[in-house]
Amino acid sequence: MSTENLSNQDAIDKLSDMISDIDICMFSAFPNQSFYPHTVPMSRQEVDESGNIWFLFSSESELHQFIESNSKVSLSFSDVGSYKFLSINGIATISRDQDRIAKYWNKFVEVWFDKGKEDPNIRILKVVPKEAYYWDNKTNKLMTLLKVATSAISGEKMDLGKEGSLEI
């Protein structure tokens, strides 16, 4: 794999492109009294033009409690079928922005909130990435394995994709 560190708009574009293909991430918050992170699967709603990542979640969740006391979070996105991986560390903020709730509301979200869009427990979660690292093979798993095998047999270096930091 070759290294390609990206910054500014190129980094935002790469982040957005990768996340658009991966709906669910493993979202980690850091409880104050624990040595270990609290990690849950979360479905992202959007990556905005500044590279911020948006979610809907409940104020009744443990995640909400942990973020209220420590805003540092980590997100891990992975698509093993295409060998795309993205690790993000950032700062989370919580709001009750009604416009965003309406924007993100859909049938899938409705399942989690019995009282609909007006549920008083719905919260908006915004993650501002502070550091990110990606691995992108640009091919599927089978092609990657074939490239590795060909390289091992022939000794010829094959392009296995790119990895690098994203400075947003």
- pLDDT tens, residue by residue, 75-126: 999 998 888 999 999 999 999 999 999 999 998 888 889 898 999 999 999 9
For 41, the 3-state DSSP assignment is: strand
Instruction: Check: CB of residue 103 under 8 Å from CB of residue 116.
Output: no
What does the pLDDT average to over 8-29?
Answer: 95
- Predicted local distance difference test score (pLDDT) of residue 28: 98
Q: In whole numbers, what is the pLDDT of the chain averaged over residues?
A: 89
Query: What total of structural domains would you count in the chain?
Result: 1
Structure tokens at 4: 């390609």
- Length of the chain, please? 168
Judge whether residue 154 has pLDDT over 90.
no
Burial (0-12, 13-18, 19+ Cβ within 10 Å), 139: middle
What does the pLDDT average to over 61-85?
Answer: 94
Judge whether residue 151 has pLDDT over 60.
no
- Predicted local distance difference test score (pLDDT) of residue 158: 52
- Which CATH number fits the domain that encloses residue 143? 2.30.110.10
157 confidence band (pLDDT: 50, 70, 90): low
Judge whether residue 51 has pLDDT over 80.
yes
Instruction: Check: CB of residue 80 under 8 Å from CB of residue 141.
Output: yes
Q: Cα(91)–Cα(67) distance, rounded to whole angstroms?
A: 9
By residue range, what is the domain housing residue 134? Answer: 2-167
156 confidence band (pLDDT: 50, 70, 90): low
Q: Cα(151)–Cα(162) distance, rounded to whole angstroms?
A: 16
Residue 123 CA neighbour count, 13 Å, CB half:
19
